[in-house]
Amino acid sequence: MNKAIAIDGPSASGKSSVSKGIAAELGIMYVDSGALYRGVTWQALRKGVDTTDSAAVIECMLNAEWDFFVQDGASTFSIDGDVPVQELRGKEVRENVANVAVIPEIRKFVVESLQSLENFGSLVMEGRDIGTVVFPDSPYKFYLDADPEERAKRRYRELVAAGESEKAEEVMESLRRRDKIDSTRKTDPLVVAPGAQVIDSTSMTLEEVIQTIVDIVRADG
């Protein structure tokens, strides 16, 4: 029977690194749910669509051809035959994705697409509503959190390593803005899923967080 491990939490709480580590340790597929929201955003931007125009964003999404597949142990997708990777991490996409992610019709499309990925096999999926909406019945639900300042430092280091030149204060403000949008949106707000185990990673190493979750999953069979 396929397992779906749900990893939720706010921006820069370590979800991606932890989820990739779990996937590697358990030999299962890694899924970044946020990539799909960024994909919709990227498609809208490259088509010249205003991301605050919900109807236009929905139409743009519906008119695109989406294909999902597994590559190097991770789920990925193409949009109209193109496979965006680095494009999804660009500043313009980062600054607009919150506008797209609050649209109920977009969330419905993403959730249904994510649920279908279980057909590929067991997976670990990270996001903001995985344990509450995508896989609410999974026995493996975790919520990663960390002190806001620590999360901002992590995101800043990521951006510097990627060649971005944003200031630390801008990163902190961006995280605060995203946290507010995520936790107050009407559709599927960011909350701790019922039955989820909360892990505060502020003072934990990446390896410690990964091992904690892996041990729980393995102990449960």
pLDDT 10s digits, 136-191: 999 999 999 988 888 888 888 877 787 777 777 777 788 788 778 777 777 777 78
Torsions phi, psi for 145 (to 5 deg): -140, 165
- Region 102-113: mean pLDDT is 95
Whether 133 is in a domain gets the answer: yes
Residues 6+ apart with CB under 8 A from 80: 43, 64, 65
Residue 93: pLDDT band by 50, 70, 90 thresholds?
Answer: very high
CATH of the domain at 186: 3.40.50.300
Whether 216 is in a domain gets the answer: no
Mean pLDDT of the chain: 91
102-to-21, 79, 96, 158 alpha-carbon distances in Å: 29, 21, 11, 25
Note the pLDDT of residue 67. 97
Whether 138 is in a domain gets the answer: yes
In whole angstroms, give the CA distance from residue 69 to residue 83: 11
Helices and strands per DSSP (H, E), number in the chain: 8, 7
In whole angstroms, give the CA distance from residue 128 to residue 182: 8
Q: How many domains does the chain have?
A: 1
> In which domain, by residue range, is 119 found?
4-208
Q: Percent of the chain scored above 90 by pLDDT?
A: 68
In whole angstroms, give the CA distance from residue 61 to residue 94: 18
Whether 219 is in a domain gets the answer: no
Least confident span in 56-60, 93-97, 123-127: 93-97
Torsions phi, psi for 3 (to 5 deg): -105, 145
Residue 221: pLDDT band by 50, 70, 90 thresholds?
Answer: low
Whether 217 is in a domain gets the answer: no
Whether 221 is in a domain gets the answer: no
Decide if 147 contacts 12 (C-beta within 8 A). Answer: no
Whether 215 is in a domain gets the answer: no
Note the pLDDT of residue 137. 95
Whether 218 is in a domain gets the answer: no
